[in-house]
Chain A
Amino acid sequence: MRQSIVLAVGAAALTLSRLCLAGPADYVYTPIVEYGEREIDFKAGRANTDGAEPLSAASLGLGYSWKPHWFTEFYAKYESEGSGATRFDAWEWENRFQLWDTGEYPVDAGFVVELERPQNHDEGYEVRFGPLFQSDFGKVQLNGNLLFGRNYRAAASAPMQFGYQWQVKYRWAEAFEFGLQGFGDVGPWDNWDPADRQSHRFGPAVFGKLPAGVHKAIRYNAALLLKASSGAPDSTFRMQLEYEF
């Protein structure tokens, strides 16, 4: 009985660690920091898998680029499963650093470090970090990120997880851009899961920025991600809405 409880907690911890890198409300980080920008940031997502309850997540954050190359944001995160009640999930603190001036080199680079304190203290503390890259080819913008994540001081230990994000966007007009996004989670960074347990998903995405007054704007992006591996949800709809001021 004790062994089965330990196994169940371990499996849950692994699952939670995987969600840490590829949750339904995740968004593609960019390495660009806009100094002086303040924002109210709302993110939401819903992942659907046949034969399972859909998983929804949302977060509300307040961010500020208080240094030319450093953006910081605090979030409150929520989740729900199926028709169950929405419950508070975690507090999160995100920091993004831009390593050099935009356009100074052919590739822009940055780094993200996130610290999360789940409501369920058995999950300990979640840390996520990794390099961020962006490059432009005419009107096409490419992003690629490598992410590592792990729970510390959790009830059950789990290895460091590895995942990735990418997007390609055509900058057609400021109010409407379109492209593709992809997210993936391969399991332990030094011992990848078998292919049928890895989570890979990608799909069409839209983006845009709408003026909302002098030095104010609303940014949006949304994507419908479809499974590209057995370990991924059948479909995930994710969106982000930011009010910049």
Chain B
Amino acid sequence: MHRFLLLALLLPSLGFAADPQFELFIHNHKFEPEELHVPAGKRIKLTVINRDPTPEEFESYELHREQLVPGNARGTVYIGPLAPGRYPFFGDFHPKTTTGVVIAE
């Protein structure tokens, strides 16, 4: 039990190389950019910056992520490591206009 707790406490301090970082903007209920090219095989730190006054939710079944970003705020989404391919995402509050795709290559 004590070894298990020690491992759980040490997990966050394990040394990982800095993850590639990208920014994704939400403006007028659209993502900018709509296509996000990222390296395959690496964990990606995605900062979603919502420039609209209303909340939006970054959602993607393919990426297995749902992240609410309040209006005029930012949120962090970690994705990957991804195999090469296309991974669509959308804004759950405005799914018809707020769409995009992550292209891992």
Contacts and interface: CB of A to CB of B under 8 A. Distances in A.
Contacts of A138: 83
Interface stretch (A98-106, A196-204, A228-236): A98-106
Contacts of B43: 103
A130 to B, nearest CB: 12
Nearest to B96: A214
Contacts of A109: 8, 11
Contact of B57 (A100, A105, A215): A215
B77 to A, nearest CB: 8
Give the secondary structure class of A's interface: loop
Contacts of B14: 105
B67 A35 contact: yes
B61 A174 contact: yes
A171 B93 CA distance: 24
Given A35-B68, A36-B68, A102 B11 contact: no
Contacts of A214: 92-95
Contact of B78 (A34, A102, A107, A174): A102
7 contacts: A36-B70, A101-B77, A103-B43, A103-B65, A103-B79, A214-B95, A215-B93
Given A68-B68, A101-B78, 9 more contacts: A35-B68, A100-B12, A101-B77, A102-B77, A103-B43, A103-B79, A109-B8, A171-B64, A174-B61
Interface of A: 34-37, 68, 100-105, 107, 109, 131, 136, 138, 141, 171, 174, 214-215
